Chains A and B, each alone.
Chain A
Amino acid sequence: MHVRGPALAASFVLLAAACGPAADGGGTGPGGPIEIIVPYAAGGGTDQTARQLAAAAEDTCGVSTVVSNQEGAGGAIGFRTAADAPPDGSTVGVVSVELAMLAHQGVTDVTPDDVSGLLQYNFDPSALTVSSDGPYSSVDEVIGAARDGDGVIVGTSGAGSVWEFAAEGMAAEEGVEMTYAPFEGAAPAITAVLGGQVDAVTVSGAEVLPQVESGELTSLAVMGEERLDILPEAPTLREEGIDWVLGTWRGLALPEGTPQETVDELESCFSEAARSEQFTDFMDTGGFGVEYRGAQEFDTFMAEEFAAFGGDGGGDDG
């Protein structure tokens, strides 16, 4: 009786830990279960998209999938775990733009070379967004103010984050100086531009969508190849005459050295999942941009991104 309480509690810990994957359902197929490693905390954008994709892949791949969150060091812990897993297709890692950035920042030595791309399912460009009541109503005005030395302050989602890189690259492209204020995440940066603490933010279009829709903020430009469906009014930076494309992306990767036939097999069933109505509907309603690249193409893309982030503030290949 005395021992039962703690024992009960302990079993609940296990139950709670098992709850995430269990909630995705569990069918058993011909192969063993596939573990999907998410390098960020449960509940974030990467985790949400990965869990949806994992659920869709259970049908298309015919095996059960188990999502495990291995967060820490800006994603490096999870990237490392996925890269070091046995290259037999039993472990799939979720990778993001940070994989191309972290090694350059001295955080880790894991790079896109350590993994083999499986597919890319998302791209969200940075959006240069200002307060609707503020002094700026076009990209030119922002750049002009910076050129005149008016001290344009851009809020970003953190030091060394992709959104800080987006702002720096835009300014470097035009040869102007801006001040970058690194907040802890996108939400406080958006609060700061709403409250007039900073002049602009460069977080993703989806992140500022609610405030843009309510009219409090205006996106002056998006840093994608094309305009965003969710922000049709905002031109691309290229339309504004600035050759700069930058955004965050997410995809799946296998450990380097996985046999080609395993890669092919997983690519076909995961890409079917990524194109399923269930998944694309989720991406649309969640405001995540859908961009698809296959295994080969994604591998090349990651290598280009890695090289671009290693340049001196360069990198314009989105």
Chain B
Amino acid sequence: MSGWLVGLDAVLSPDAILMIVLGVGTGIVVGALPGLTATMAVALLLPVTFTLDPLPGMMLLVGVYGGTLYAGSIPAILLRAPGTPSAAATVIDGYPMTRQGKAGQALSISLVASVVGGLTGTVLLALFAPQLAGVALTFGPPEYFMVSVLALAVIASISAGKLSKGLVSGFLGVAIGLVGMDPIEGFPRFTFGTTELSAGIPFIAVLIGLFGVSEALTQIAGNRRRRGAERPPVGSFSLGRGWLRRLGPATGGSSLMGFLIGLLPGTGGDVASYFAYNETRRWSRKGSFGKGEPAGVASAESANSASTSGSMAPTLVLGIPGDSVTAILIGAITVHGLQPGPQLFEGAPDLVYGTMIGLVLMNLAMLPIGLLGIRLWPRLTAAPTTVLWPTVVLLSLVGAFALRLNLVDVAIALAAGALGFVLTRGGYPLAPMVIGLILGPMAESNLRLSLIISGGSLDWLARPIPIAVMAVIVAAIVLTKLSTRRAMATPAGTAAEETPKDRD
């Protein structure tokens, strides 16, 4: 208990508080710009923290991390251009809400869900960090493989009703993920002999093109056909009537799932948000997911915020980074001569407990800072469409370039934009492609690692976690099949009502 008091004392200093506020503010701006990721912002600010004390430095970085993850949803909702990979799942329901004139509500939900997810995750971290970090160690390649197959099965339910098109899109994503160095043999695959492609097609450049650029192309093409089309209003910023009852279960459940997925080293907000979104959709009986369902936004956003805290657990307890951002946070700790890991709890309680309390403060700070900005964001999109969409293309391409200062990434973003445009025209959903792109490589390398470690046998499939996950996969597919049939049997429902608006 004394550790908590030491931490509280350390974090309630003007320095630390100032850094939290600064960090969150910076994070929100960075996150709202496609292509500028949490990893990049944290990496660029890292040298600044060398001159600060460990705790204020840590507060600056986690503030940026949290702010970025929240703000990625802003362009995802308003422009269908997720600011960070973690916000890709937010697009599915967030952008339809904007088209239906409920942008204000979607932005409010995303802010509140982010804060609730972050707080829930932090409480879980504080209560169970040491025990849960140990659980992460029982996850070897076989477990990771089965979890990635489970997440790939999300494609089936996300594309319910148009399964074949969803599968085509999903396979395309997996195929793009194959490009680059073979993860096991180290041999270049599908690189056409170029050096530029040997590290693979960068995921974020594809994401920028697939959503930001392709939506701009769609809008520009649509604009030429019907000039002066009415723009949907922003609508009220209230959460809507009975919000607690409507959004509470989705937010709570998704926060828990997001935290658990964040715990696993190597999986972060992007996997967490898709995973939680899909489970929420499965448990809900509504057919309105994917057509502007507020609970969908709440679910994706709470999950990616909660995953931040989850990925802090292996970082603080084991000294193993949960994702690329926490890998940099470890650097921020070691530069002060401290070693992350179990001994940090005794060696520097002010830092460990201070960080956990700081995470709570960071989430609390996000609410007022987010509210300050929330009415401003829709104004940006109120620019005339002839200015707005070309600017989105420009910003997207600048973002793609900023990733690695490489023109190849700009070309990839443009190509992905063209692909996204064509696929959307043809009625192919884009979400399965993103899922395939994230999880295809993860499934491949873990399957092959499992086989290497077991000497080629399939014994590892019989371990407890893989068996349990397999049962969940079978259940999920059966349930999806049943619910699709039920939806077909009752064609007149909420789904039918929303369709005309959705086509706008």
Q: A residues within 8 Å of B by Cβ?
A: 2-3, 5-6, 9-10, 12-13, 16-17, 19-20, 23-24, 41-43, 45, 47-48, 51, 55, 68-74, 76-77, 80, 105-108, 151, 153, 158-160, 179-184, 187-188, 190-192, 194-195, 197-198, 209-211, 213-214, 216, 282, 285-287
Contact = CB atoms under 8 A, between A and B. Distances in A.
A181 B384 contact: no
B455 interface: yes
B415 interface: no
Contacts of B449: 181-183
14 contacts: A9-B395, A16-B36, A41-B43, A43-B43, A43-B324, A70-B404, A160-B186, A181-B141, A182-B184, A183-B449, A187-B266, A210-B318, A214-B342, A286-B335
B199 A16 contact: no
Given A9-B380, A69-B405, A197-B453, 17 more contacts: A6-B388, A13-B36, A16-B402, A20-B47, A48-B331, A70-B404, A107-B188, A181-B141, A181-B453, A187-B321, A190-B320, A191-B314, A210-B319, A211-B319, A213-B343, A214-B319, A286-B335
Contacts of B334: 285-287
A57 B139 CA distance: 44
Interface of B: 29-30, 32-33, 36, 39-48, 50, 136-141, 181-188, 195-196, 198-199, 265-266, 314, 318-321, 324, 327-328, 331, 334-337, 339-343, 379-380, 382-384, 387-388, 391, 394-395, 398-399, 402, 404-406, 445, 449, 452-453, 455
B141 A197 contact: yes
Contacts of A68: 405
Contact of A10 (B331, B336, B388, B398): B398
Nearest to B340: A210
Nearest to B32: A9
A213 B343 CA distance: 8
A12 B449 CA distance: 42
Nearest to A70: B405
A195 B341 contact: no
The residue among A6, A76, A194, A209 with the most chain B CB atoms within 10 A of its own CB is: A6
B188 A77 contact: no
B303 to A, nearest CB: 22
Sort A-B residue pairs by CB-CB distance and give the 5 closest, nearest first.
Answer: A160-B186, A43-B43, A159-B186, A210-B341, A210-B319
Contacts of B184: 159, 182
A152 B82 CA distance: 45
A280 to B, nearest CB: 13
A44 B209 CA distance: 27
Contact of A73 (B41, B198, B320, B339): B198
Interface centre among B185, B195, B337 (most CB of A within 10 A): B195
A91 B445 CA distance: 38
Given A20-B47, A73-B195, A74-B198, A159 B185 contact: yes
Given A159-B181, A213-B341, A24 B405 contact: no
A10 B36 CA distance: 12
A70 B44 CA distance: 14
Contact of B395 (A13, A17, A286): A13
Given A3-B383, A6-B395, A73-B199, A42 B44 contact: yes
Contacts of B402: 13, 16-17
Contact of B47 (A2, A23, A71, A188): A23
A99 to B, nearest CB: 13
A213 B452 contact: no
Contacts of B42: 43
A184 B183 contact: yes
